[in-house]
Amino acid sequence: MRLIIPIEPKPQSRPRASVRGRHATVYEDGKMVAWRKKCTELVRQLYDGPYFDGPIKVDMTFYMPAPKPMSEPPKPRSKAKKVQEYNDFVNARIYVDKKPDLDNLEKAVYDSISKAGVVWADDNIIVEHTTRKVYSPRPRIEIELEEIS
C-alpha cells in the first residue's frame, strides 16, 4: 500500500520546559503541534488501504526542500556539472546529508499516523524499515507499507 502525504517533512521537536512560580511545566513547540495535526488530517483524508494489526515493513522517502542555489534552473551557458546537478535535483537523486536527523523525521510521521487511527494503532508493529531523505522541488513524504506474513 502506498501513501503520499503532501506536506513538507518536519522533525519531531524536543519537549520544552518552563517554570512559572513554583510549578514546572513541560510543553511541545506550537509549530510541531500544528504540523502533526495537519499531517494526521492528511493521513485520514488520503489513506484508503487496509488497517494493519500485525507485523509490517515500511519504506519511507522524505522529499526535502533544497537550498536555493540547487533549486534554481541553470542558465543557458552553465557548465555541464551545474546542469547535471539540477537534473539530479529535479529527479530526486541527491541525498540530504544534513540536518534534520532521519530518526526525528520518522518519529513525527509515525506519531501522526498512529494518531490518525486508520493505518495502525501503534507503530510498534513496524518490524523492518528503510528510510531515505532526498532533495526535491516538491517536498512531501512517500510511504510504502507491506504486511509481513
| Residue-wise pLDDT tens digits, 3-26 | 999 999 999 987 777 788 888 887
| Residue-wise pLDDT tens digits, 41-67 | 999 999 999 999 999 999 999 999 988
pLDDT in the model for residue 5: 98
Between the CA atoms of 31, 102, 122 and 139, what dihedral angle is there, to the nearest 10 degrees? 60
CATH code of residue 64: 3.30.1330.70
Asked if 4 and 138 touch (Cβ cutoff 8 Å), the reply is no
Identify the helix (H) or strand (E) that includes residue 90.
helix 80-90
**Domain range holding 9?**
2-147
| Residue-wise pLDDT tens digits, 67-99 | 877 667 777 777 777 777 777 777 768 889 899
**Counted domains in the chain:** 1
Nearest alpha-carbon partner for 56 in 142, 133, 122: 122
